[in-house]
A and B are shown apart, each in its own frame.
Chain A
Amino acid sequence: MTQTKVSYKPSDEVDFVIVGSGAAGGVLAKELSSNGFRVVVLEQGPYLKPEDFTHDEIKVFTQHLLTNDAKLQPNTFRKTPQDKARRQQGVMYGRCVGGSSVHFTANYWRFHEIDFVEHSKVGNIPGATLADWPITYGHLEPYYTKVEWEVGVSGLAGASPFDPPRSKPYPMPPLPVKGSGVVFERAAWKLGYHPFPAPMAILSQPRAGRDSCVCCGFCLGFGCEVGAKSSSLAAMIPVAEKTGRCEIRPNSYVSRVVVDKNGRATGVEYFDAKRNTHMQRAKAVILSANGAETPRLLLLSANSQFPDGLANSSGMVGKNLMPNSAAIALAVFEEPVNDYKGFAVSRVLHDFYELDHEKLGFYGGGGMDARFDATPASFAMGGLPPGTPRWGKQFKKALEQNFTRTFEIFCHGTSLPVEANGFSLDPDVKDAWGLPALRMTFRDHPDDLKLMAWMRERAMELLDAAGAKTKWSEPVGEQQFAVHLLGTCRMGNDPKTSVINADHRTHDVQNLFLCDGSSLVTSGRGQPTMTIQALAFRAADRITALAKSGQIQG
């Protein structure tokens, strides 16, 4: 380590200040610093290293080692704008360098062509604000490939007959198949479906100085000690720092974007670890703070010039939240599956990606995977069949029998955009820094619930075909908890109905860009991070071109 890391003073006017170091922020930091720009990344969470990661479920899940903590950042929830919101944690996101990519499952499907043009294909859906993207799959394809090769995705090109066209194979073979994958694959074939090896952002071979997966089994929810999980922390941040032009500044909680009287962003104001405030000056500001915190920051930045929040002339900031719909079916098998070994997912199925909505009576589509993502204590609390005694001999017997014999089919699907769903500032509740708390308003579009009920039935059929000894599933109900924070500052050509243009530039502020889950126009079928990163690679190209041709300074 001969590299000395660069550090800037807040008063230095850098080229870009990026808020957030997650899936999008990490990519933008790496790309823009590699392109010669001076970059400061402000991350509200700590800068954890692999040696800070642990397999201690208590620290990770209940003490929020890697994620936002409701004690510091409470949020409120209501179903409709007519309701009074109550304190209830509705949002979970990564709060450390690398963001949610540190703890994610790492399912890395590309969106399909349909996801970009759903509105022109199906027309208006009552109650939904479905719209086409200003870009198509074709625009994004080279950047999907870039994610696969630069961030590191394992998979098998051509294995799914439903896959959209691709310009290059995966850089690495798929991860090994798990027992759940084998059982799921056989059942799916039996029913005439087309299972395929899961594309995962986890290294199946050593690459770029990182180790390959050791199959430790503490994956979803946990940070990877060996750097095999392709988080921004493992894959992007080190490259950005190596340029000598990018500073990652952790424990820096941004409170607003500062604009001058000409309506140009001049930097961002933030609290350091000691809660002193600073302003980091920059020629341009990029918010990659996630689909909850990016709109919150815009709303917190309201002033007399922008009374409804920054970049909100459309009124669309914080609207159209799409958390993706989900359903789960679990089963116990006769023999040990030992699915706790490895990572979460090894087989996926996309036969339901595009459903016949006229025949079924609802719009939407989904994907399914076979997985086991429970760790021992979380399994004991939530992985046993309904009706199992909660303590005593029978409880223990079920743990002894089932831990090694259980896996689940996870159904992921569309969330239709609904304007009333989203994030706003709570009028009463404040966070530990005295800033208005996030208020989440959400009620699933009825089609999303119908889709999940339908997918759940398919999952149960698959478990039957798989020869499950016992199977059960959670009833489909309205969601009140979101981890996929999508659509809340949507991209579009029309400044009246969207917040950013196809270059990720806000329609209203020339040197303010947004890039993260909030940019998505539709929700795909449940695995958004791959697309968020493809967008970030593309945004970096667009922003570089604009900066180099003098179109940001204006």
Chain B
Amino acid sequence: MNNLQANRRNFLLQVGGVAGAAWMNAQWPAIVAAAEHAHQAASAKTPTKFEVLTQEQARQVEAVAAQIIPTGETPGAQEAGVVYFIDRALKTFATGAVPAYEKGIARLNELTVANCPGTKHFADASAEQQEAVLGKLVAEQSGGGGYRWLGSGDAGDFFETIRVHTIWGFLADPSAGGNRDYAGWKAIGRDPEFTFSPPFGYYDKNYPGWQAAKTEAEKK
């Protein structure tokens, strides 16, 4: 059993109660099946066939995602299998974004040729060159975002679209097809468990319990 399965099972078991266990027994095969495809694709050593992106496009997409969320001391977009998430998204819920990807990748390669003599593809430029080239692309396109609400992931603008998709592929629940082995959650410190009990963090560690008297005391 891999980590994803182990965590889901753990969650369901800890949900506890007769109802929870019965539900798990009834639903478990379906849950595994749903998670399986994406997960197997993402964790396979040799990449499975991409369904929408060409190998060449996928290389560029993976390089852009790795610029948006780079690998460092903690896993980045690459380790999370973001490119597989994106390919699957373009096949399923984000079909409308395919033209933006095609145009965006072509434009990135043009900018690479113009700025990195002798290099044809964005993915083949050095990390520093990629950062500079992507910066130029971002400057060409409009900004976006906003507090709290998730982006739609189908903005006409390539950079905004791939940014949203990269974040999803890095941080959304692995059942969505990315966040391989919870790589994204590990990077941001989100424990992949699904049940928690207090204390949750540093500040509630030594909480003495609710003291109504305190509200009286502070009146003096």
A residues contacting B by CB (< 8 A) are: 50-51, 54-59, 61-63, 156, 158-159, 161, 174, 176-179, 181-183, 189, 192, 194, 197, 206, 209, 211, 214-217, 225-227, 328, 333, 335-342, 374, 376-383, 390-393, 395-396, 399-400, 403-404, 474
Given contacts A177-B210, A215-B195, A226-B15, contact A381 B175 (CB under 8 A): no
- Are A63 and B172 in contact (CB-based, < 8 A)? no
- Are A392 and B70 in contact (CB-based, < 8 A)? yes
- Are B201 and A396 in contact (CB-based, < 8 A)? no
B residues contacting A by CB (< 8 A) are: 11, 14-17, 19-20, 23, 26-27, 31, 67-70, 72, 74, 76, 93, 131, 134, 138, 143, 145-153, 163-164, 167-168, 170-173, 175-176, 184-185, 187-191, 194-204, 207, 210, 212, 214-215, 218
- Are B215 and A61 in contact (CB-based, < 8 A)? no
B160: nearest chain-A partner, CB-CB: A390
- Are A374 and B210 in contact (CB-based, < 8 A)? no
Count chain A CB atoms within 10 A of each CB in B20, B145, B200, B215 and give the residue with the most. B200
Question: What is the minimal beta-carbon distance from A56 to any residue of chain B, in angstroms?
Answer: 5
Instruction: Name 6 extra pairs, CB < 8 A, besides A156-B210, A378-B148, A381-B164.
Output: A58-B172, A181-B204, A192-B218, A216-B11, A391-B134, A395-B68
Q: Which residues of A contact B31 (CB under 8 A)?
A: 51
- Are A396 and B69 in contact (CB-based, < 8 A)? yes
- Are B171 and A376 in contact (CB-based, < 8 A)? yes
- Are A341 and B210 in contact (CB-based, < 8 A)? no
- Are A382 and B190 in contact (CB-based, < 8 A)? no
Given contacts A61-B149, A174-B210, contact A214 B194 (CB under 8 A): yes
Q: Which of B143, B148, B189 contacts A374 (CB 8 A)?
A: B148
Q: Which of A57, A209, A227, A337 contacts B150 (CB 8 A)?
A: A57
- Are B196 and A217 in contact (CB-based, < 8 A)? yes
- Are A395 and B188 in contact (CB-based, < 8 A)? no
Question: What is the minimal beta-carbon distance from A483 to any residue of chain B, in angstroms?
Answer: 12
- Are A341 and B196 in contact (CB-based, < 8 A)? yes
- Are A56 and B172 in contact (CB-based, < 8 A)? yes
Count chain A CB atoms within 10 A of each CB in B11, B67, B143, B212 and give the residue with the most. B212
Question: What is the minimal beta-carbon distance from B71 to any residue of chain A, in angstroms?
Answer: 9
Question: What is the minimal beta-carbon distance from B4 to any residue of chain A, in angstroms?
Answer: 12
Q: Which residues of A contact B194 (CB under 8 A)?
A: 55, 214, 216
Q: Which residues of A contact B67 (CB under 8 A)?
A: 391-392
Question: What is the minimal beta-carbon distance from B63 to any residue of chain A, in angstroms?
Answer: 13
- Are A51 and B203 in contact (CB-based, < 8 A)? no
Instruction: Count contacts between A and B, CB distance < 8 Å.
Output: 195
Question: What is the minimal beta-carbon distance from B122 to any residue of chain A, in angstroms?
Answer: 14
Q: Which residues of B contact A214 (CB under 8 A)?
A: 11, 14-16, 194-196
B209: nearest chain-A partner, CB-CB: A177
Q: Which residues of B contact A179 (CB under 8 A)?
A: 199-204
Q: Which residues of A contact B173 (CB under 8 A)?
A: 54-57
| Complexed CA–CA distance, A383 and B167 (Å) | 13
- Are B188 and A404 in contact (CB-based, < 8 A)? yes
B199: nearest chain-A partner, CB-CB: A179
Count chain A CB atoms within 10 A of each CB in B16, B131, B202 and give the residue with the most. B202
- Are B172 and A341 in contact (CB-based, < 8 A)? no
- Are B17 and A335 in contact (CB-based, < 8 A)? no
Q: Which residues of A contact B203 (CB under 8 A)?
A: 179, 182-183, 333, 335, 337
19 contacts between A and B (CB under 8 A): A57-B171, A182-B204, A211-B17, A211-B19, A214-B196, A216-B11, A216-B194, A216-B196, A337-B202, A342-B196, A377-B171, A379-B171, A380-B171, A381-B151, A382-B148, A391-B67, A391-B163, A395-B68, A403-B190
Q: Which residues of A contact B200 (CB under 8 A)?
A: 178-179, 215, 337-339, 341-342
Q: Which residues of B contact A380 (CB under 8 A)?
A: 167, 170-171, 188
- Are A54 and B175 in contact (CB-based, < 8 A)? yes
Question: What is the minimal beta-carbon distance from B194 to any residue of chain A, in angstroms?
Answer: 5
- Are B196 and A215 in contact (CB-based, < 8 A)? yes
Q: Which residues of B contact A390 (CB under 8 A)?
A: 143, 145, 163
Q: Which of B168, B195, B201, B215 contacts A339 (CB 8 A)?
A: B201
Q: Which residues of A contact B170 (CB under 8 A)?
A: 377, 380
Q: Which residues of B contact A400 (CB under 8 A)?
A: 74, 187-189
Question: What is the minimal beta-carbon distance from B178 to any residue of chain A, in angstroms?
Answer: 10
Given contacts A51-B23, A403-B189, contact A206 B151 (CB under 8 A): no
- Are A393 and B72 in contact (CB-based, < 8 A)? yes
Q: Which of A58, A211, A383 contacts B168 (CB 8 A)?
A: A58
Q: Which of B70, B152, B218 contacts A393 (CB 8 A)?
A: B70
- Are A382 and B27 in contact (CB-based, < 8 A)? no
- Are B93 and A177 in contact (CB-based, < 8 A)? no
- Are B210 and A211 in contact (CB-based, < 8 A)? no
- Are A57 and B172 in contact (CB-based, < 8 A)? yes
Q: Which of B16, B145, B201 contacts A404 (CB 8 A)?
A: B201
A338: nearest chain-B partner, CB-CB: B201
Q: Which residues of B contact A341 (CB under 8 A)?
A: 191, 196, 200-201
| Complexed CA–CA distance, A91 and B9 (Å) | 37
Q: Which residues of A contact B164 (CB under 8 A)?
A: 381
Q: Which residues of A contact B14 (CB under 8 A)?
A: 214
Question: What is the minimal beta-carbon distance from B91 to any residue of chain A, in angstroms?
Answer: 14
Question: What is the minimal beta-carbon distance from B188 to any residue of chain A, in angstroms?
Answer: 4
CB-CB nearest 9 A-B residue pairs: A338-B201, A335-B202, A376-B171, A403-B188, A179-B203, A341-B196, A214-B195, A179-B201, A215-B196
- Are A62 and B153 in contact (CB-based, < 8 A)? yes
Given contacts A215-B196, A335-B202, A377-B171, contact A63 B23 (CB under 8 A): no
| Complexed CA–CA distance, A179 and B195 (Å) | 17
- Are A376 and B190 in contact (CB-based, < 8 A)? yes
- Are A382 and B20 in contact (CB-based, < 8 A)? no
| Complexed CA–CA distance, A55 and B189 (Å) | 17
- Are A376 and B152 in contact (CB-based, < 8 A)? no
Q: Which of A51, A197, A340, A381 contacts B167 (CB 8 A)?
A: A381
| Complexed CA–CA distance, A151 and B156 (Å) | 45
Q: Which residues of A contact B74 (CB under 8 A)?
A: 396, 400
| Complexed CA–CA distance, A269 and B218 (Å) | 60
Q: Which residues of B contact A158 (CB under 8 A)?
A: 212
- Are A376 and B184 in contact (CB-based, < 8 A)? yes
| Complexed CA–CA distance, A312 and B145 (Å) | 41
Given contacts A211-B15, A390-B163, contact A335 B201 (CB under 8 A): yes
| Complexed CA–CA distance, A403 and B185 (Å) | 10
| Complexed CA–CA distance, A176 and B198 (Å) | 7
B210: nearest chain-A partner, CB-CB: A197
Given contacts A51-B27, A342-B196, contact A377 B172 (CB under 8 A): yes
Question: What is the minimal beta-carbon distance from A27 to any residue of chain B, in angstroms?
Answer: 23
| Complexed CA–CA distance, A56 and B31 (Å) | 13
Question: What is the minimal beta-carbon distance from B57 to any residue of chain A, in angstroms?
Answer: 20
- Are B195 and A216 in contact (CB-based, < 8 A)? yes
| Complexed CA–CA distance, A168 and B105 (Å) | 65
| Complexed CA–CA distance, A404 and B200 (Å) | 10
